[in-house]
A and B are shown apart, each in its own frame.
Chain A
Amino acid sequence: MAKSIDVSGLNIYYGDFLAVQDVNVTIKARAVTALIGPSGCGKSTFLRTLNRMHEVIPGARVEGDVVLGSDAIYGPNVDPVEVRRTVGMVFQRPNPFPTMSIYENVLAGNRLNNRKLKKADADAIVEKALSGANLWSEVKDRLNKPGMGLSGGQQQRLCIARAIAVEPQVLLMDEPCSALDPISTAAVEDLIHELKTDYTIVIVTHNMQQAARVSEYTGFFNLKAAGQPGHLVEFNKTSKMFSTPEQESTEAYISGRFG
């Protein structure tokens, strides 16, 4: 189910503006990869190229290749909609659909794939996804209540449940905990730990401790200089990144001597 991602020679543009330059990296399957770096260096931009969400912004485009398992997702005959069905995404701010119940929110992706979902199958998917997102026990008695009625942390786990309900091959998370309190953050981090046995996970975070806690691999993005495109400075095992990084700027950033 989980697949690795091979990125080569990736340049990412907003119109004429080159936001991220020449990324080459291999993201391992069934592992958590954290992306860190200062604000504006292109972490979110890069993440969104992995499920072709980048191009929904008018004028946005990429050059280079991203290969998921053995499929080039930017190949000429690839439908971005199909890519997004196999690469799930969780956003910085929880975004359950406001008019849908908790139950329907979880099923939103499945309903796209399969209109005539049997009630029993649907129930099973909802329970599995919500259990997978550590939310089942909290909401099982109010599945038909609106998803917006949950707390922020619960909403975020609902969004994770929605993303894993379609059993994607990869799960992308863009600062999934930045709008959450420490307890909800811990719940989501535990969840990430459990999910990595089944999924390839890429997570953007500003929180070094979080990167160190949840990930096996870490990529450090930085700007070459102000006004220059972002690039991937270093990619390594997290343990190495946080003890003996190869690049000086990585070390400076991680130890907080950044400027």
Chain B
Amino acid sequence: MTTTDASPRVGRRLGDLLFAGTARAAGITILIALAGVATFLIVEGIPGIVTTQSSAFAGKASFVSYTWPLVFGTVLAAVIALLIATPLAVGAALVIGFYAPRRLATPLGYMIDLLAAVPSVVYGLWGATLLAPKMQPTYAWLADHLSFIPFFAGPASATGRTILTAGVVLAIMVLPIITAICREIFAQTPALHREAALALGATRWEMIKMAVFPYARSGLVSGVMLGLGRALGETMAVAMVLSASSAVTFNLIGSQNPSTIAANIALSFGERTGVERNTLIATGLVLFVITFIVNFLARGIVARGRKGS
């Protein structure tokens, strides 16, 4: 009796073992890949940081003064993108989830998802050749009338290929992922709580404020952070749109714009050799670290949101 009992149980255990083994292997593979990338960046990057060859820093005195404008540009472009994309994404997700009739909501959702399928080089082309010239008059107007705001200090760029244009292009690129995540978490709001709000006489918007947003807060943060990750690392579109110098300025509409780390690597990799390349790899390491920090911060916020609810 023990034997007949044991065999199916062994079978099940074997399945469990297999599954646990595969899962563990997958997890370890990811860790190894991550460690490999980090090791590569560190080993290859350090020579580029400590080098005394001045061409490695493109005329700058040190690695820090070379990288700082790039870090600044990277973060600035990503923040502009999120400031534009987040409200749009939340709004679009709300319209699709709660306001639009179903006939309209579904195609609208598909269309926003489709934005994610457009290759970034196409966004780059569009941004550089169409959007930038179209934005230029606006920048000129802003520089004329609102130049007391540091962001619009001017003089306006003649081409329109500014960090603000890059931010707008990035915003459109991160819009689908943030919208998709918002839709997902809005749809998961328990009907119980939505109905509790409606039954108290909440309007749709009040219901969203009472029942949907508090519930969705931590998911929203993760969605925005995913968008931020994409915006930080986006290369092609920024490289094509931005007319970069190494300025550190909050003037968003001028002709002097900081470049981003990723775009800078893509643009200058070809013309660099030897230790000059190591310096680029070191900037890649800096980007890696920034992305890591962003992820940790996001996790912290999400975890705190969970505790609060």
Interface residues of A (CB under 8 A from B): 51, 53, 56, 58, 81-86, 88-89, 91, 93, 95-100, 108-109, 112-113, 146, 159, 162-163, 166
Contacts and interface: CB of A to CB of B under 8 A. Distances in A.
B80 to A, nearest CB: 31
A82 B200 CA distance: 10
Nearest to B203: A81
B210 interface: yes
A100 B206 CA distance: 15
Interface string B172-207: 000000000000000000101101111111110010
Given A91-B195, A95-B193, A97-B197, 4 more contacts: A53-B198, A84-B200, A113-B201, A166-B200
13 contacts: A56-B195, A84-B198, A84-B199, A84-B200, A88-B200, A97-B197, A98-B215, A99-B214, A99-B308, A108-B200, A112-B200, A112-B206, A166-B200
A89 B199 CA distance: 6
Interface centre among A99, A100, A163, by most chain B C-beta atoms within 10 angstroms, is A99
Given A58-B102, A112-B206, A95 B200 contact: no
Nearest 8 Cβ contacts at the A-B interface: A85-B201, A99-B214, A109-B200, A89-B199, A84-B201, A95-B196, A95-B192, A99-B309
Interface of B: 102, 190, 192-193, 195-203, 206, 210-211, 214-215, 308-309
B195 A98 contact: no
Given A99-B215, A99-B309, A81 B202 contact: yes
Nearest to B101: A58
B200 A51 contact: no
Contacts of B190: 95
A159 B215 CA distance: 18
Contacts of A162: 200
A81 B205 CA distance: 12
A206 B58 CA distance: 80
B188 to A, nearest CB: 13
Contacts of B192: 91, 93, 95
A93 B190 CA distance: 12
B203 A53 contact: no
A113 to B, nearest CB: 7
B200 A98 contact: no
A108 B201 contact: no
A165 to B, nearest CB: 9
A98 B309 contact: yes
Contacts of B210: 97, 108
Nearest to A90: B199
Nearest to B204: A81
Contacts of A163: 199-200
A178 to B, nearest CB: 14
Contact of B201 (A56, A99, A112): A112
Contact of B199 (A53, A99, A113, A146): A53
Nearest to A89: B199
Contacts of B201: 81-86, 109, 112-113, 166
Contacts of A58: 102
B256 to A, nearest CB: 46
Contacts of A93: 192
Contacts of B309: 98-99, 146
Contacts of B199: 51, 53, 84, 88-89, 91, 163
Contact of A97 (B198, B203, B206, B214): B214
A137 B34 CA distance: 56
Nearest to B305: A99
Q: Which of B195, B201, B214, B308 is packed against the most chain A CB atoms within 10 Å?
A: B201
Nearest to A84: B201
A95 B195 CA distance: 9
A51 B102 CA distance: 24
A117 to B, nearest CB: 14
Contacts of A91: 192, 195-196, 199
A109 B196 CA distance: 10
A88 B202 CA distance: 12
Contacts of B196: 91, 95-97, 159
Contacts of A97: 193, 196-197, 210-211, 214
A56 B309 CA distance: 26
Contacts of A85: 200-201
Nearest to B308: A99
Contacts of B195: 53, 56, 91, 95
A52 B16 CA distance: 51
A162 B193 CA distance: 13
Nearest to B190: A95
A97 B197 CA distance: 9
B102 A98 contact: no
Contacts of A82: 201
Contacts of A56: 195, 198
Contacts of A51: 199
Contacts of B200: 84-85, 88, 108-109, 112, 162-163, 166
Nearest to B200: A109
A112 B214 contact: no
